[in-house]
C-alpha cells in the first residue's frame, strides 16, 4: 500500500486495525502526502465512520506537534443478527463493536419453511429495534446464522439435511423484504447468510482466542458441524461445504439412517437427534439436542452415558481433523458440550492422534455460549461493510 493506491477505505482499515491511528502515521504507512491523507479522511468523517480527538493526543511519527488520535466511530450504526436452530431462534441488535443493545429468544421451527420463519424473524427485528430505541435507518446490515451449508457466492443453503424446504431458497431477499415490511424502511439493507458453526467459530476466535492462527469449533446439537478459522478468516471450502463433519461415515454406524439419506453418518450416531431417539426408545422422552441438554443439566445418568459415548465417536473423527489442520484450539460447543461429551472426545482424540499433533492443542468448551453465532454474525457484517474495498464502494454510492 503506497502512493496514490491507498484510498479512503484503505485508511479506514488501517485505523480500525490499529496499525495507524494518527494522520502522521497514515502518511508514514501509505506514503501519501499530508493533503491527500486529509482529503481521504474528510470523506470518512463526512460518512460518520471516523472520529478524532477521543483518548487524548499522541506524538506524530513525523515530528512536530502531537496528532489527535483517530478512531472508528462505532456508534453511528447498528447491526441486526439472528441465529436459527431447528426449533428456536435468537435475534439481537448489536452495536458495531458487538455489544448487545436488545436481544430475544423464541420458538422458530425451521421445518415451517423459509417464508414463514424469515417473515417472523423480520417482525422480531422490528420489535427489537423498538426495544433498543434505535431507528430502522441506523441499521447498516443483517447477519443470519443457519444450521446448514451455505454457498457464500449465492447466500443460499445447499442441500441442508435438517432444513427441509430451504435448499436454494433466496434467504437474503426474503429477510430483506421481511425487515422492510416490519419497519417501513424502503432502502435495501445488506444481508449476509452463513453457516452457524462457521459464525460460532468466527465469534469465539475473535473474542476469546484472537492470537490463534488455526482455530476449530465443533458444534454438537441436533446435528454436528464444524467451523474453521485460519489466519483470522473463515475457511469455507469451494462452495461452503468445509466443516460438514456430521456426514463423515464412521465404523459401526452402518445401521444408522441419517437425515441426509445416507447410513452411518457421524450425526446419525452421535448427534442430539440420534441420542434423543435412543433415549425415547428407553422410555425417556426427547426429540432434539436441546432436550438432551436439559437432561444432561439434570444429571440424568443414561443421557450422560450416551453423551460420553457420542463424544468418543466425535473424538475419533476429530483425530483426523486435528492431524489435517493442526489447530491451536479445538473448541466443543452446542447442546451436548458438557463434561461427559468432552471426556469422550478427549479419550479417543488423544488415543488416535499422534502426540506431535496434540502437543500444542488446547481442547476447550465454548466461552460465549448461546451468543457465539450472534457475535460472529455481527463481526462478519462489520468486516464486510467496513473492509477496504466495500467501504470505498459504499462511500461512492453515498456520493462522498
Note whether 59 and 85 are same-domain residues.
no
Distance CA(392)–CA(11), nearest Å, equals 10
Q: Is residue 292 included in any domain, yes or no?
A: yes
Over residues 341-352, the mean pLDDT reads: 96
Q: Is residue 58 included in any domain, yes or no?
A: yes
Note whether 220 and 252 are same-domain residues.
yes
Distance of CA 379 to the CA centre of its chain: 8
352 exposure class (CB count in 10 Å sphere: 0-12, 13-18, 19+): middle
**DSSP 8-state symbol, 54:** E
Last residue of a domain, one of 72, 105, 126: 72
Over residues 36-44, the mean pLDDT reads: 97
Q: Taking Cα atoms as reference points, which of 271, 234, 269, 240 lies closest to residue 254?
A: 269
Q: Is residue 42 included in any domain, yes or no?
A: yes
Contact 58, 66 (CB under 8 A): yes
- Number of structural domains in the chain: 3
Contact 195, 166 (CB under 8 A): no
pTM of the model: 0.92
Three-class secondary structure of residue 135 per DSSP:
coil
Note whether 241 and 348 are same-domain residues.
yes
pLDDT exceeds 60 at position 4: no
In the chain, DSSP finds a helix count (H) and a strand count (E) of: 14, 14
Note whether 15 and 89 are same-domain residues.
no
Note whether 244 and 287 are same-domain residues.
yes
Note whether 212 and 358 are same-domain residues.
yes
Q: Is residue 121 included in any domain, yes or no?
A: yes
Note whether 378 and 329 are same-domain residues.
no
Note whether 125 and 172 are same-domain residues.
yes
Last residue of a domain, one of 27, 52, 72: 72
pLDDT tens profile 51-62: 987 544 444 444
Over residues 376-388, the mean pLDDT reads: 97
Note whether 388 and 316 are same-domain residues.
no
Q: Which residue has the higher pLDDT, 347 or 62?
A: 347
Q: Is residue 326 included in any domain, yes or no?
A: yes
State the pLDDT confidence band at 3, using cuts at 50, 70 and 90.
very low
Note whether 18 and 155 are same-domain residues.
no
Q: Is residue 293 included in any domain, yes or no?
A: yes
The total number of residues written for the chain in this structure: 400
Q: Taking Cα atoms as reference points, which of 12, 11, 47, 92 lies closest to residue 371?
A: 92
Over residues 356-373, the mean pLDDT reads: 95
In the structure grid, which three cell numbers stand for residue 54, read together?
A: 477521543
Note whether 216 and 357 are same-domain residues.
yes
Last residue of a domain, one of 32, 52, 72: 72
Domain assignment of residue 40, given as a range: 3-72
What is the pairing mode between strands 156-157 and 100-107? unpaired
Q: Which residue has the higher pLDDT, 201 or 223?
A: 201
Percent of the chain topping pLDDT 90 = 86
Looking at residue 147, what is its pLDDT?
93
Q: Is residue 202 included in any domain, yes or no?
A: no
Residues 6 or more apart whose CB falls under 8 angstroms from that of 216 comprise: 201, 226, 227, 228, 229, 321, 322, 325, 327, 329, 330, 331
Note whether 236 and 258 are same-domain residues.
yes
pLDDT tens profile 259-301: 888 889 999 999 999 999 999 999 999 988 889 999 999 999 9
Q: Is residue 44 included in any domain, yes or no?
A: yes
Of the CA atoms within 13 Å of residue 366, those in its CB half-sphere come to: 25
Looking at residue 184, what is its pLDDT?
95
Max CA pair span of the chain: 78
CATH number of the domain bearing residue 140:
3.30.420.40
CATH number of the domain bearing residue 30:
1.10.10.10
Percent of the chain topping pLDDT 70 = 96
Residues 6 or more apart whose CB falls under 8 angstroms from that of 16 comprise: 72, 386
Amino acid at each position: 500500500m503506497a502512493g496514490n493506491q491507498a484510498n479512503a477505505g484503505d485508511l479506514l482499515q488501517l485505523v480500525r486495525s490499529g496499525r495507524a491511528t494518527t494522520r502522521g502515521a497514515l502518511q508514514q504507512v501509505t506514503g501519501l502526502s499530508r493533503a491527500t491523507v486529509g482529503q481521504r479522511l474528510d470523506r470518512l468523517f463526512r460518512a460518520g465512520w471516523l472520529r478524532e480527538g477521543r483518548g487524548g493526543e499522541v506524538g506524530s511519527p513525523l515530528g512536530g506537534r502531537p496528532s489527535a488520535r483517530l478512531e472508528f466511530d462505532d456508534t453511528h450504526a447498528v447491526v441486526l443478527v439472528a441465529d436459527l436452530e431447528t426449533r428456536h431462534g435468537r435475534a439481537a441488535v448489536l452495536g458495531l463493536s458487538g455489544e448487545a443493545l436488545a436481544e430475544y429468544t423464541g420458538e422458530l421451527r425451521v421445518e415451517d419453511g423459509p417464508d414463514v420463519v424469515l417473515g417472523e424473524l423480520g417482525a422480531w427485528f422490528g420489535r427489537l429495534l423498538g426495544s433498543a430505541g434505535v431507528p430502522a435507518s441506523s441499521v447498516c446490515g443483517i447477519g443470519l446464522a443457519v444450521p446448514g451449508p451455505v454457498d457464500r457466492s449465492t447466500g443460499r443453503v445447499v442441500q441442508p439435511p435438517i432444513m427441509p424446504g430451504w435448499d436454494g431458497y433466496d434467504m437474503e431477499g426474503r429477510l430483506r423484504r421481511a425487515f422492510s415490511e416490519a419497519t417501513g424502511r424502503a432502502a435495501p439493507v445488506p444481508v449476509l447468510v452463513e453457516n452457524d458453526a462457521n459464525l460460532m467459530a468466527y465469534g469465539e476466535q475473535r473474542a476469546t482466542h484472537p492470537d490463534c492462527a488455526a482455530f476449530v469449533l465443533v458444534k454438537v446439537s441436533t446435528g454436528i458441524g464444524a467451523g474453521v478459522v485460519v489466519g483470522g478468516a473463515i475457511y469455507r471450502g469451494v462452495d461452503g461445504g468445509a466443516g460438514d463433519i456430521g456426514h463423515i461415515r464412521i465404523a459401526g454406524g452402518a445401521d444408522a439412517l441419517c437425515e441426509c439419506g445416507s447410513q452411518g453418518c457421524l450425526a446419525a450416531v452421535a448427534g442430539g437427534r440420534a441420542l434423543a431417539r435412543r433415549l425415547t426408545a428407553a422410555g425417556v422422552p426427547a426429540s432434539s439436542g436441546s432436550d438432551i441438554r436439559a437432561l444432561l443439566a439434570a444429571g440424568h445418568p443414561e443421557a450422560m452415558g450416551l453423551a460420553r459415548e457420542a463424544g468418543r465417536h466425535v473424538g475419533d473423527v476429530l483425530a483426523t481433523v486435528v492431524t489435517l489442520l493442526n489447530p491451536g484450539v479445538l473448541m466443543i460447543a452446542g447442546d451436548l458440550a458438557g463434561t461427559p461429551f468432552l471426556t469422550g472426545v478427549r479419550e479417543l482424540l488423544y488415543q488416535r492422534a499422534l502426540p506431535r499433533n496434540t502437543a500444542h492443542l488446547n481442547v476447550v468448551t465454548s466461552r460465549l455460549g448461546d451468543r457465539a453465532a450472534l457475535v460472529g454474525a455481527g463481526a462478519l457484517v462489520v468486516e464486510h461493510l467496513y473492509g477496504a474495498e466495500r467501504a470505498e464502494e459504499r462511500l461512492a454510492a453515498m456520493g462522498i
